[in-house]
Amino acid sequence: MGTIVSFQAHPDDESITTAATVAKAAAAGHRVVTVFATRGELGQPVPGVLADGEQLSLRRSAEVYESAAALGSKRVEFLGYVDSGMMGEPTTDAPYCFWQADVEHAARRLALILEEEQPDVLTVYDDNGGYGHPDHIQVHRVGMRAAELAGVPVVAQHTFNRDYFQRLLAQAAENREPVEGTPPDLGEEFGKPEAEITHSVDGTEFAAAKRASMLAHASQIGPDHFMLTLPDEAFAVGFGIEWYVIDPIPGPDAPQLFNDLFAPIH
Ligand SMILES: [Zn+2]
């Protein structure tokens, strides 16, 4: 059996990005490891969920372990950087934030874990971090370099399929299906056009695990969140399939884990 390591920026990113992929891998008997760059210190907590004096980073760390249990992740690590906040904010200048981290240094820290785990596949985010958040862009840079240092055979860059989401929203409008809550903003920064995406993982059967992982992050994803208000079937269609850019694409000697999960889309 193989190993997949998923590198994430903040607690709850593992729910939104690669949850169905790793739940599928775990169900097939593969080892799943999740590494977080930060503890999401600058997240906006759902109003009223924190007790008086409760520290957000500790709450979010606890939520990560609950989410890991829902997805079948067997090891959780934090690299210990601090959340950088949004692009353009003064928090991105803070000395220990992930955005200010030296890429080579951070990559060596991640590479230590990769050398222990010898994964078949490492997941990171696309070169724009999926939607332009500085810590997500840094996950791409650090993850790509760490994979190189540790000799990981396949790096899968998670992204959002902008065209797929646009088709779903257009279809819902055509069928006059009410879309509850606020659907994601599909601006230029959101994901990649389908033409640039190489692979998908069909995790629709693991949509319930993905939703359970989101529910674990109660300090961030409230019960009225768009993704949680969707009916099961719409959630599975919208979020059960996860999208990746893989370059280079492994040849016929690709690891079994890769072949089990990832399918070319073109
Ligand atoms: Zn994030």
**pLDDT, tens only, 5-17:** 999 999 999 999 9
pTM tops 0.75, yes or no: yes
Q: How confident is the model at residue 224 (pLDDT cuts 50, 70, 90)?
A: confident
Average model confidence (pLDDT) across the chain: 94
Q: In the prediction, which pLDDT does 176 show?
A: 72
Q: What would the two tokens of residue 212 be?
A: 């359970």
Task: Give the type of residue at 96.
Answer: Y
For 157, how many CA atoms within 13 A lie in the half-sphere containing its CB? 28
Q: What separation in Å is there between the alpha carbon of 218 and the centre of ligand 1?
A: 15
243 contacts: CB under 8 Å, gap ≥ 6: 158, 159, 160, 161, 164, 191, 192, 197, 199, 200, 265
Distance of CA 175 from the midpoint of ligand 1 (Å) = 33
Domains of the chain: 3-260 (3.40.50.10320)
Kindly give the residue spans of alpha helices, DSSP state H, lying in the chain.
13-16, 19-27, 56-71, 103-117, 134-150, 162-174, 207-216, 226-229, 232-239, 256-261
Quick check: 26 pLDDT over 90? yes
Ligand 1 center to residue 149 CA distance, Å? 24
| C-alpha 252 – ligand 1 centre gap (Å) | 34
**Residue 235 CA: distances (Å) to CA of 70, 119, 133:** 17, 29, 24
Can you say whether the dihedral through the CA atoms of 103, 106, 112, 115 is positive or negative? Answer: negative
pLDDT tier at 185, thresholds 50, 70, 90 = low
Cα–Cα distances (Å) from 227 to 62, 179, 181, 234, in that order, read 21, 10, 9, 9
- pLDDT at residue 168 greater than cutoff 90: no
Report how far ligand 1's centroid is from the alpha carbon of 134 (Å): 9
* Ligand 1 centroid from CA 152, angstroms: 23
Given a cut of 90, is residue 189 above it in pLDDT? Answer: no
CB 265 within 8 A of CB 38: no
Query: How far does the centroid of ligand 1 lie from the alpha carbon of residue 253, in Å?
Result: 33
